[in-house]
């Protein structure tokens, strides 16, 4: 029976586990064993993981794989990917190999501006507020100097602050809308610290401003927070080749493939039901690299999907064209990433992943991550428009199904061979394994 508990966070890890297994599991031994078997035997490493978040009781593992043969702007990369979904790493690797022989991926960063906002309520005269903002804008920036000093030495800092009138949406609602350059840091803590200082200065200076009436001086700060919508932190990745070079088998010509591929893209551009799944496939590649490199994939997801809706309809993030016999496939996507700060200097696998990528700057990582998304989308659309998505996906999923049935090594070898020429489905695997076991028993 569930029960409440006070002071849970103050308990030791072992006491937390005792309470969890006693409260929620009939077989406390099994539950405790599962939790503890994922602890790292290196106590120092385990303590590091324990301190990443509060109330840690164990580690949750995801497969850490690699996709080789990515040629990006003339440089070869092996891209690390942390993801549980079967076929993602295989699909990325296949797309990388396909484009390796066709010039590889071309990328460039369009812009790196990030956004933060102070949200405030003011019910006085608009002109008075504008005059006040104009008079203290430089002080807002100056009061942040202790926070921005090191960032400015590296070439970053506060780019601009605007006063935005949102009163048509909410009565009395205004914003201090600030833009930032955070270089190789994702910059969340830096931006939020600046915003909170803006709010303090704005509120305190309002009390001293002679242009306000006494009532107008009472400005209410609602909150100060960065935005994960970063439409001006953009990167572009593309591939291109002659249409006839798109064919690598006798099953279809390059022209047939290109035309069908373009139709698939056009459908995702205008049909939200398709666009969501289309973009989810892109995020399979992007999230896997973002997670492997210690970045915030939830922030990336939120910003990307907002960007996909920027024109009033949720639409494809990738696009394609054929001009003068050349097929071009590209992606422009907002990515706020960091290669310093956060987990990048703490998590051993994150450090290893960044080392594998040749210690990229934030701009370089933006380009690598965008390529992973483009490659994933190309592989998915190539399967969808030729053999169908299930043929490759279910073959990759075969091992998961076999593990669900506790197949041993000999059974796995036989069924893997069998399904090289047969359609994989959960029922087909179950029936084939059952027949195999019956024959062995007989």
Options 196, 296, 347, 397, the catalytic residue? 296
Q: In the predicted model, what is the mean pLDDT of residues 332-337?
A: 97
Helices (H) and strands (E) in the chain, counts: 15, 10
Per-chain mean pLDDT for the chain: 93
Options 18, 85, 256, 411, the catalytic residue? 85
Spatial separation of the C-alpha atoms in residues 397 and 407, rounded to whole Å: 14
Spatial separation of the C-alpha atoms in residues 250 and 252, rounded to whole Å: 6
Q: In the predicted model, what is the mean pLDDT of residues 327-343?
A: 94
Determine contact, residues 146/162, Cβ cutoff 8 Å: no
Options 200, 203, 217, 280, the catalytic residue? 280
CATH of domain 64-110+234-387: 3.90.770.10
Q: In the predicted model, what is the mean pLDDT of residues 209-236?
A: 97
Whether residue 285 has pLDDT greater than 60: yes
Is 114-226 assigned to CATH 3.40.50.970?
no
Whether residue 140 has pLDDT greater than 60: yes
Spatial separation of the C-alpha atoms in residues 102 and 95, rounded to whole Å: 11
DSSP 8-state secondary structure symbol assigned to residue 332: E
Options 106, 119, 393, 397, the catalytic residue? 393
Q: How confident is the model at residue 422 (pLDDT cuts 50, 70, 90)?
A: confident
Whether residue 420 has pLDDT greater than 80: no
Is 85 labeled as catalytic in the residue annotation?
A: yes
Q: In the predicted model, what is the mean pLDDT of residues 254-260?
A: 93
Q: Could you tell me the two tokens for 198?
A: 């803006």
Q: Is the dihedral of CA 286, 289, 292, 293 positive or negative?
A: negative
Is 280 labeled as catalytic in the residue annotation?
A: yes
Name the β-bridge partners of 328.
Answer: 240, 321
Q: Please tell me the chain's helix, strand, coil percentages from 3-state DSSP, rounded to the nearest 5.
A: 50, 20, 30
> 288: how many CB neighbours lie within 10 A of its CB?
30
Nearest 10 degrees: Cα torsion 45, 48, 50, 52: -140
DSSP 82-96: E--STTHHHHHHHHH
pTM of the model: 0.88
- Locate the domains of the chain by residue range: 8-50, 64-110+234-387, 114-226, 393-441
Q: How confident is the model at residue 393 (pLDDT cuts 50, 70, 90)?
A: low
């Amino acid at each position: 029976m569930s029960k409440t508990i006070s002071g849970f966070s103050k308990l030791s890890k072992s006491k937390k586990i005792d309470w969890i297994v006693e409260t929620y599991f009939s077989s406390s031994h099994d539950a405790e064993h599962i939790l503890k078997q994922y602890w790292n035997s290196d106590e120092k490493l385990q303590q590091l993981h324990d301190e990443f978040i509060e109330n840690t009781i164990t580690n949750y593992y995801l497969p850490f794989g690699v996709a080789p043969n990515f040629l990006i702007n003339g440089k070869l990369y092996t891209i690390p990917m942390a993801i549980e979904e079967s076929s993602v790493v295989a699909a990325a690797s296949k797309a990388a190999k396909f484009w390796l022989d066709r010039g590889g991926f071309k990328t460039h960063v369009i812009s790196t501006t990030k956004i933060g906002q102070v949200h405030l309520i003011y019910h006085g005269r608009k002109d008075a507020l504008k005059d006040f903002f104009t008079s203290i804008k430089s002080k807002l920036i100056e009061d942040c100097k202790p926070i921005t000093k090191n960032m400015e030495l590296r070439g970053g800092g506060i780019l601009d602050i605007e006063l935005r009138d949102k009163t048509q949406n909410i009565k009395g609602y205004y914003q201090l809308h600030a833009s930032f350059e955070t270089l190789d840091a994702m910059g969340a803590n830096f931006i939020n610290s600046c915003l909170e200082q803006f709010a303090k200065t704005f509120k305190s200076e309002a009390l001293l401003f002679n242009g306000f009436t006494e009532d107008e001086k009472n400005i209410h700060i609602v909150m100060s927070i960065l935005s994960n919508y970063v439409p001006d932190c953009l990167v572009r990745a593309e591939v291109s080749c002659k249409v006839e070079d798109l064919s690598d088998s006798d099953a279809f010509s390059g022209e047939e493939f290109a035309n069908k591929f373009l139709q698939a893209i056009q459908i995702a551009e205008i049909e939200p039901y398709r666009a969501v799944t289309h973009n989810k496939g892109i995020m399979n590649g992007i999230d896997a690299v973002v997670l492997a490199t210690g970045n915030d994939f939830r922030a990336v997801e939120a910003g990307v999907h907002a960007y996909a809706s920027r024109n009033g309809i949720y639409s494809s993030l990738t696009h394609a064209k054929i001009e003068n016999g050349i097929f071009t496939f590209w992606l422009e996507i907002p990515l706020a990433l960091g290669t310093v700060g956060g987990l990048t200097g703490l998590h051993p696998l994150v450090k290893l992943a960044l080392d594998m990528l040749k210690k990229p700057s934030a701009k370089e990582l933006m380009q690598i991550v965008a390529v992973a998304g483009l490659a994933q989308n190309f592989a998915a659309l190539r399967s969808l428009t030729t053999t169908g998505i299930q043929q490759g996906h279910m073959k990759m999923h075969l091992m998961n199904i076999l593990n669900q049935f506790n197949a041993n090594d000999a059974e796995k070898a036989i069924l893997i061979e069998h399904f090289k020429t047969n359609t994989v489905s959960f029922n087909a695997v179950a029936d084939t394994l059952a027949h195999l076991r019956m024959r062995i028993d007989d």
